[in-house]
Amino acid sequence: MVVDFKLYLITDRKVIKTSLPAAVRLALKGGVRAVQVREKDLPVRELLAIAQELRRITRESNAKLFINDRVDVAVTIEADGIHLGHHSMPSEAVRKIVGKKMLIGVSAHSLTEAVNAEKAGADFITLGPIFMTPTKMQYGEPLGVEVIRIVKQHIRIPVFGLGGIGNTNIAQVMQAKADGIAMISAIFAADDIQRAAELMNRRIGEAVQ
Ligand code: TZP
């Protein structure tokens, strides 16, 4: 399994104006090829039901599906990957369960965390928050784009910039040598999700030329 995407779309049903499956369908139509289900407050049975539905939908579009934190759910629905945060099981333990069959993404918030994530066997990291996010300080102080450049000098696995990224600053993040962009609201809070996804994909494409 390889990291063959540059846009990593993370769900948050609280910012979505329609249902989560409908929103994901639109994003897929707009060209998204990797989706992470991050619905931390859902009871596991509800999460499993949503994940199962999103598995069907993403499969139809040949898109990768990741589950945040819940390795049990990821294994059950045959996800393509698992995304781990601070309070998740460590990557080494997760690797014992999923082997090489699944990608492991890890959330990093500093150079040290990025280096540790690579050492622990992550396949890629998200790094952020790069900018102030709409939900302000929930995710900590913004790191700024320079941290991407620095992290890229120390690790080899792909780095996805995350946090407060949208149409106006996506180019800046790619110019700082990010391998890709992870985002929630620039796509899921948009009135036209399909168009927003198309636009973000186009911006990333322009930046890598
Ligand atoms: N971790 C750091 S920032 C963030 C997460 C989950 C949220 C990013 O959301 P948005 O809407 O793309 O700024």
Q: Which is catalytic among the residues 96, 100, 136, 156? A: 136
Query: For ligand 1, which residues put their CB under 6 angstroms from it?
Result: 128-129, 133-134, 139, 162-165, 183-186
- State the distance from the centre of ligand 1 to the C-alpha of 65, rounded, in angstroms: 18
Mind listing the pLDDT tens digit for each residue in 134-166? 666 778 899 999 999 999 999 999 999 999 999
Residue 163: left (phi > 0), alpha (psi -120 to 50), or beta?
Answer: left
Catalytic residue (choose from 6, 55, 95, 107): 107
**What is the DSSP annotation of the chain?**
-----SEEEE--TTT-SS-HHHHHHHHHHTT--EEEE--TTS-HHHHHHHHHHHHHHHHHTT-EEEEES-HHHHHHTT-SEEEE-TTSPPHHHHHHHHTTTSEEEEEE-SHHHHHHHHHTT-SEEEE---S-BTTBGGG-S---THHHHHHHTT--S-EEEESS--TTTHHHHHHTT-SEEEESHHHHTSSSHHHHHHHHHHHHHHHH-
pLDDT score recorded for residue 99: 96
Low-confidence ranges of the chain (pLDDT < 70): 134-136
Residue position matching structure tokens 């186009």: 202
| pLDDT for residue 136 | 61
Question: What's the pLDDT at 135?
Answer: 65
